[in-house]
Amino acid sequence: MVIISGLTKEILRDTFKEAFREEIRRQIFEWKHPVVSYSGFKYRILFYSPSYSPHYAEHVVDPLDGREKLVMAIPHTTQNAGTIIIYDIENDVIEWKVDLKTLVSWNIKNPPMAHMIVDEDRMNLVTGSWVDVLGLGKLNANPGDIVAPSPDNTWVVIDRKNKNIKQRIVPGYGSGYVHDILPSVGKDGFIVTDYQKGVYKIDFNGSVVWSWMTTEGGWAKLSKLLPIFYSGGHGNSYGGNYLVVKNGDVRGVYEINDNAGVANYCGSEPRRISTVWLLKPHSAFRTGLVEATGNLTIVGHEAGGGIVAIDRDCRPRWGIMKPYSIIPYWNYRPTSFGLFETTHVFPTLRGTIGFVDWSGVYGSVVGEVVEIPYHQTLWFLLAQEHDPGDNGTYYDPLIDTAEWSTVKLFFVNIGNNSLDYTVYATNIPNFRPETWPSHWKVIANGSVSGTSIVEVDASGYLALRVFGKRSTIGSSSQWSIFVVFRR
C-alpha cells in the first residue's frame, strides 16, 4: 500500500488544478482563434472583427505587462480608418485604441503601420530594440509607447497612458506620403520610407542624412535584420541591415545597409541574371540563422494574395503565388487558397509566419500560418531581358529541382536575332566543379528565333544548368528565361 502524505496530496491537487485550468485556457483560445483551411492552406485566425481593416500587424511582448500583443494599424476603408489598436490575443480583447484623426489634421490615409517601442530585440522582431535612440535630444518615448506615420504627414510618438502625442518628427525633405520608420543601427536617427518620394535616413530632428531611390514611388514597409553575436558563420543578413519593399505591379525587395548600400535585391530588373517577379509586394521579413547565406525572405503579394519564401538568389522555395493580369482591365483575382490581397507578412513570437489579408467581410483577417499547401505553382526568372553574348553565358547558380514534380523552362526572345540554348541535367546529388560536365547530360538544345518562344520540359532531375549564346557572332538579342515549378 502506498501512503501519500497530506503535503503530497496538496501538491498533486494543485498540479491537477493548474493542468485543468491550462486545458480550459487552451480550449478557449482554440475556440476564439480557430484554424481554417482552404485547399491545404491552413492558418489560425489571430484577429478578425467587422469594421476593423488592419493593413499592418506586429506580434510583440508588451513592456508594460510582459504579455503578448498584436499592434495593428488601420489606414483606410472601414469606419475605424485612421486608428491604431493593441489587441491581447489570449484574452481576446482590444485593450487600447487611438484615433489619429482626433489628434491631427487628416491629409493622407495614414497610418499604414505602427510600432510599439520596446527595449529588447526579442520583444519586437520587426523593429528590434529602440533603446539606443531614446532619450534627451533623441526620441521622446518610453517602452510601450507607439510610433507611427500620421495623417498630417509626420511621424508621431503616442503616449500609451494618456494617448497624447509626445513628439512629432517632421521630415526635412518635403514629404509626399510618409510611411515606415525604424531605429537606425548607427543609433543616430531613423530609416524611413515615403511612399511617393523614396527611402531616407533622417536624424532625430527629421533632417536628411541621406536619400535613396527618390526618382520613383512605391516605397512601403521596412523590417530590420537583428544583430548577430559571436558567430563563426551563422547569420540572417546578406550584408545589409534593413529590408525595404517597393510596391508596384512587378517590383521587389531590397536589402540595404545603414549607408544606403544595396547588399541584395530580388525583383524586376532588365539585364539581370536570376531574379523574381513579385506581384504588388508590400512587406517582407527575413527568417533563418543559417550558414552559407541559406536563409529565406518571406514576401507578401497584394495582387490576388500570396505568401512566398525566396532565397538569396531570388528563387522561390515554397509558398502561394498567383499570376497577375491587367487584361482586359486591372483586377485582383484571389487565390484558391483563401488569400485575396495580402497586405502584410510578419514574424510571430513563436517563429511562425503571420499575415494580414483583406479577405474578411467588412474587415481584414490577421492570421498565423499553420500549414503551407503541398500543391504549389511557383516561378522565377533565370534571366530578364539579357543578352548572353558571343562567348555565351552559364545562367548560374544551378537550378535546384529535386523537390518539384514538374519543371518547365520558357525561353522568350524579345529581340530580332536568334539565340542558342543548351539545358544540362543531373540526378547525382553532389554538385561539384570536378564533376562538371562528366556527371551531367544534355536534355535539350536548340535555337530561339527573334520574337519567338521555346518551351522545354526539364522534369525528373535533381538539378539543371542552362547555357546560352548568340546564334551568330555579333548579332545581339535579348531573352527572358522563365522557370515554373509545380507539384
> What mean pLDDT comes out for the span 269-276?
96
Q: What is the CATH number of the domain that holds 273?
A: 2.130.10.10
Domain co-membership, 54 together with 88: yes
Digit-coded pLDDT (tens) for 212-230: 999 989 999 999 999 999 8
What percent of the chain is modeled with pLDDT above 90?
A: 89
Round to whole Å and give the CA distance between 251 and 218.
9
277 grid coordinates: 517577379
Q: What is the CATH number of the domain that holds 394?
A: 2.60.120.20
Per-residue confidence band for 103, with pLDDT thresholds at 50, 70 and 90:
very high
Domain co-membership, 85 together with 105: yes
> What mean pLDDT comes out for the span 336-350?
97
> What mean pLDDT comes out for the span 236-265?
96
Per-residue confidence band for 17, with pLDDT thresholds at 50, 70 and 90:
confident
Instruction: For 90, list phi and psi in degrees, rounded to 5.
Output: -65, -40
Digit-coded pLDDT (tens) for 418-476: 999 999 999 999 999 999 999 999 999 999 999 999 999 999 999 999 999 999 999 99
Q: For residue 75, tell me if it sits in a domain.
A: yes
Domain co-membership, 429 together with 281: no
Closest by CA position to 152, among listed 169, 173, 172:
169
> What mean pLDDT comes out for the span 181-196?
98
Round to whole Å and give the CA distance between 385 and 445.
20
Instruction: For 32, list phi and psi in degrees, rounded to 5.
Output: -80, -25
Per-residue confidence band for 23, with pLDDT thresholds at 50, 70 and 90:
low
Domain co-membership, 149 together with 217: yes
- CB burial of residue 92 (10 Å; 0-12, 13-18, 19+): middle
Q: For residue 32, tell me if it sits in a domain.
A: no
pLDDT, the chain, mean? 95
> What mean pLDDT comes out for the span 125-132?
97
Closest by CA position to 59, among listed 255, 288, 281, 353:
353
At which of 375, 400, 417 does a domain end? 375
Per-residue confidence band for 13, with pLDDT thresholds at 50, 70 and 90:
confident
**102 pLDDT higher than 60:** yes
Q: For residue 270, tell me if it sits in a domain.
A: yes
**11 pLDDT higher than 90:** no
- CB burial of residue 433 (10 Å; 0-12, 13-18, 19+): exposed
410 grid coordinates: 520558357
Q: For residue 117, tell me if it sits in a domain.
A: yes
Q: For residue 133, tell me if it sits in a domain.
A: yes
Domain co-membership, 297 together with 399: no
Digit-coded pLDDT (tens) for 376-402: 999 999 999 999 999 999 999 999 999
Q: Which long-range contacts (CB under 8 A, 24 or more apart) does 355-362 make?
A: 355/43, 355/300, 355/307, 356/54, 356/55, 356/56, 356/57, 356/300, 357/305, 358/53, 359/305, 359/334, 360/48, 360/50, 360/53, 361/50, 362/50, 362/51, 362/53, 362/78
At which of 336, 353, 375 does a domain end? 375
Q: For residue 20, tell me if it sits in a domain.
A: no
pLDDT of residue 78: 96
Per-residue confidence band for 4, with pLDDT thresholds at 50, 70 and 90:
low
Domain co-membership, 234 together with 86: yes
At which of 375, 404, 421 does a domain end? 375
* Cα of 24 vs its chain's centroid, Å: 35
Domain co-membership, 193 together with 51: yes
Q: For residue 355, tell me if it sits in a domain.
A: yes
Q: For residue 297, tell me if it sits in a domain.
A: yes
pLDDT of residue 1: 56
pLDDT of residue 2: 57
> What mean pLDDT comes out for the span 261-284?
96
76 grid coordinates: 483606410
Round to whole Å and give the CA distance between 411 and 401.
18
Domain co-membership, 55 together with 158: yes
pLDDT of residue 141: 98
Domain co-membership, 428 together with 345: no
29 grid coordinates: 483560445
> What mean pLDDT comes out for the span 261-268?
97
> What mean pLDDT comes out for the span 232-247?
94
> What mean pLDDT comes out for the span 120-144?
97
- Count of domains forming the chain: 2
Round to whole Å and give the CA distance between 397 and 76.
43
Domain co-membership, 206 together with 326: yes
- CB burial of residue 139 (10 Å; 0-12, 13-18, 19+): buried
Domain co-membership, 211 together with 357: yes
**274 pLDDT higher than 60:** yes
Instruction: For 479, list phi and psi in degrees, rounded to 5.
Output: -135, 160
Round to whole Å and give the CA distance between 442 and 423.
6
**120 pLDDT higher than 60:** yes
Domain co-membership, 383 together with 370: no
Which domain does 388 fall in, by range? 379-486
